């Protein structure tokens, strides 16, 4: 059973997926998990595989949603993405990392190419 924070997060992810679809993305996976971590949404945008981190905030008291995607989080997403690409046979595919930030002040913001692959 999901706790209220998880429900809030999943609601944000559902909003993000709808937003991405309206903007031409094709959703491939939601909440992809492996032993290295989790990626909220994996999608196609044109010929690029896009790994999307969704950050939802009900208030900015603890900072913007964008600031929550720190170095540690980027590294974990990067390692998970590499494993996904290897397991799906897409090691030569174009890939990028986007962030969807949802907040009461700014609504939904899409940050394309929000960060580069983080090495260990």
Mean pLDDT by 10 residues, the chain (120 residues): 77 93 97 95 97 86 74 94 93 92 88 84
Give the number of other Cβ atoms within 10 Å of residue 75's Cβ.
Answer: 17
Name residue 98's beta-bridge partners.
Answer: 52
Q: What is the pTM of this model?
A: 0.90
Q: Which long-range contacts (CB under 8 A, 24 or more apart) does 24-33 make?
A: 25/50, 32/80, 32/84
The span from the CA of 79 to the CA of 38, in Å, is: 10
Residue 84 confidence (pLDDT) = 96
Q: What's the chain's length in residues? A: 120
Separation between Cα atoms, residue 75 and residue 31, nearest integer Å: 17
Q: Give the model's pLDDT for residue 120.
A: 59
The pLDDT value given to residue 11: 83
Tell which CATH classification among 3.40.50.10420, 3.40.1350.10, 3.40.1710.10, 3.30.70.1230 matches the domain 4-115. Answer: 3.40.1350.10
Residue 60 CB coordination number (10 Å):
13
The Cα 90–Cα 84 span in angstroms is 8
Q: What are the structural domain ranges in the chain? A: 4-115
Which residues 6+ apart lie within 8 Å of 63 measured at CB? 57
Work out the number of other CB atoms within 10 angstroms of the CB of residue 94. 11
- CA pair distance 9, 86, nearest whole angstrom: 28
């Amino acid at each position: 059973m999901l706790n209220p924070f998880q429900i809030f997060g999943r609601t944000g992810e559902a909003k993000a997926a709808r937003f991405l679809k309206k903007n031409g993305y094709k959703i491939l996976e939601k909440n992809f998990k492996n032993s290295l971590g989790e990626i909220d949404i994996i999608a196609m945008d044109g010929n690029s595989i896009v790994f999307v981190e969704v950050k939802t905030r009900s208030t900015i008291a603890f900072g913007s949603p964008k600031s929550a995607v720190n170095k540690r989080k980027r590294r974990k997403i990067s390692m998970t993405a590499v494993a996904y690409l290897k397991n799906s046979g897409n090691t030569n595919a174009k890939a990028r990392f986007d962030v969807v930030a949802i907040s009461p002040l700014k609504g939904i913001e899409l940050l394309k190419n929000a960060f580069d692959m983080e090495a260990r």
